[in-house]
Amino acid sequence: MSQVDRILIIGANGFIGHHLSKRLVTDSNFRVTAIDLKSDRLRDILGHDNFEFKQGDILDNDGWISREVEQSDVVIPLVAIASPLMYIKQPLKVFELDFEANLPIVRECVSQNKHLIFPSTSEVYGMSSDLEFDPLTTNLVTGPIQMQRWIYSTCKQLMDRIIYAYGESENLNYTLFRPFNWFGPGLDSIDTPREGGSRVVTNFIGSILRGEEIKLVNGGSQRRAFTYIDDGIDALVQIIEKRHKSANRQIFNIGNPVNDYSISHLAHLILELSLEHPLLKDRASRVNIISEDQSIFYGAGYQDVMSRNPKILNTSDLLNWQPKVGLRDGLKLTLDHYAQGEGL
């Protein structure tokens, strides 16, 4: 097997991208070329021997994507809009960025015979009633067209199907991974001006930092399996290392079934931990948890997923991987980060 020397990460300054870049640069032999509009979250590794940052916009592809793919062994395109409010408010932007702008990168991997590691999503399973979502057997269940929440899910699903088809008909080597509610330092900016503009963990922490109410959509009985970012990154490193063997042409759920909790439980735990935190306790003492109807919180076009739990049997077996970080420990690390004003 040839030694990987160059991993191309497009969208390297994002949540997954900056954690993955740092891990690869500090803890592996891989060389990383990182592309993004900005590099502020990569500042710790700028200048590292195994790391190169280049400014690039996938919406402005004048041929740079082809040139960068040519010089790479593995391509990981991470640019995407991933906040539910945006699916409803800006559905065409989601299509243009998550699907349309990523398709040329997929096609470059096909024509240049490069291994593609592409982020699918837990959202593809939609409102399936399966107790565990299985990449091989679970039906993908979305709502009617006017429920614009599903544009992200269906863009990702179509890309999954295209990548699979390229694997079958044109021998593309690929790995699809589906993060299940990854959280951790740097998930989103807590300064996102409108509530709901970021994902739930950062939304709740943002409410505490601003001393505002935490809002549970429809009472918060809906459940998610929260996955700490370090566990997710461990799995991605295994995928890169095993891409010629057990990780090739696979679809992996990357989630932590043990951390399956309701959103209401999440809110109470974040508030409890904030009340114990020296930098947060004053602001947390002013925060109440309230319920808000989805029609007010998100507006029309929103449908929720009531339960989302990953089956991770193939991920564990083929990657020799298990998630380790419990929700409480992961939230403590995340709160420390935001309390110190990092990643705003």
Contact flag: residue 121 with ligand UGA (CB under 6 A): yes
> Does 273 sit near ligand UGA (CB under 6 A)?
no
16 near ligand UGA, judged by CB under 6 A: no
Read off the amino acid at residue 189: S
CA angle 285, 288, 289 (to 5 degrees): 135
Nearer to ligand UGA, 10 or 69 (CB): 10
232 binds ligand UGA (CB under 6 A): no
**What is the rounded CA–CA span in Å between residue 100 and residue 107?**
11
Are the C-beta atoms of residues 298 and 169 closer than 8 Å to each other? Answer: no
Q: Minimal CA–CA distance to 17: which of 5, 330, 45, 206?
A: 45
Q: Does residue 270 touch ligand UGA according to CB under 6 A?
A: no
Q: What is the CA radius of gyration of the chain?
A: 19
Q: What is the DSSP string of 256-288?
A: -GGGEEEHHHHHHHHHHHHHT-TTTHHHHTT--
Q: Does 216 bind ligand UGA (CB under 6 A)?
A: yes
Q: Which span (25-33, 67-75, 196-204, 228-236) binds ligand UGA, by CB under 6 A?
A: 196-204
| Site mask for ligand UGA (CB under 6 A), range 248-267, x = bound | ---------------x----
Residue closer to ligand UGA, measured from CB, 66 or 222: 222
If binding is defined by CB under 6 A, does position 19 make contact with ligand UGA?
A: no
Q: Is 142 in the site for ligand UGA (CB under 6 A)?
A: no
Question: Minimum distance between the CB of residue 23 and ligand UGA, rounded to whole angstroms?
Answer: 19
How far apart CA 186 and CA 82 sit, in angstroms, is 14
Our measurement of the distance from residue 191's CA atom to the centroid of its chain's CA atoms, rounded to an integer in Å, reads 19
Asked whether position 106 contacts ligand UGA by CB under 6 A, the answer is: no
CA angle 218, 219, 224 (to 5 degrees): 90
Nearer to ligand UGA, 14 or 56 (CB): 14
CA distances, 262 to each of 175, 206, 298, 326 (Å) = 30, 19, 19, 15
Q: Site for ligand UGA (CB under 6 A): which residue of 126, 179, 232, 310?
A: 179
Stretch that binds ligand UGA, among 99-107, 158-166, 168-176, 198-206 (CB under 6 A): 198-206
Residue from 13, 122, 154, 173 touching ligand UGA (CB under 6 A): that is: 122
State phi, psi for 343 to the nearest 5 degrees: 65, 25
200 belongs to the binding site for ligand UGA (CB under 6 A): yes
Cβ atoms within 10 Å of 248's Cβ, excluding its own? 15
Q: Where in 315-344 is the site for ligand UGA (CB under 6 A)?
A: none
Q: Name the residue among 92, 73, 70 with its Cα closest to residue 81.
A: 92
Phi and psi (nearest 5°) for 158?
Answer: -65, -40
Q: Which is nearer to ligand UGA, 21 or 307 (CB)?
A: 307
Closer of 64 and 261 to ligand UGA (Cβ): 261
State yes or no: residue 224 binds ligand UGA (CB under 6 A): yes
203 binds ligand UGA (CB under 6 A): yes
When asked if residue 185 is in the footprint of ligand UGA (CB under 6 A), the reply is no
Cα distance between the two ends of the chain: 42
Strands 260-262 and 223-225: antiparallel
Q: Which of 115, 215, 243, 311 binds ligand UGA (CB under 6 A)?
A: 215
Which residues contact ligand UGA (rule: CB under 6 A)? Answer: 82, 84, 121-123, 152, 179-182, 196, 199-200, 203, 215-217, 220, 222, 224, 263, 304-305
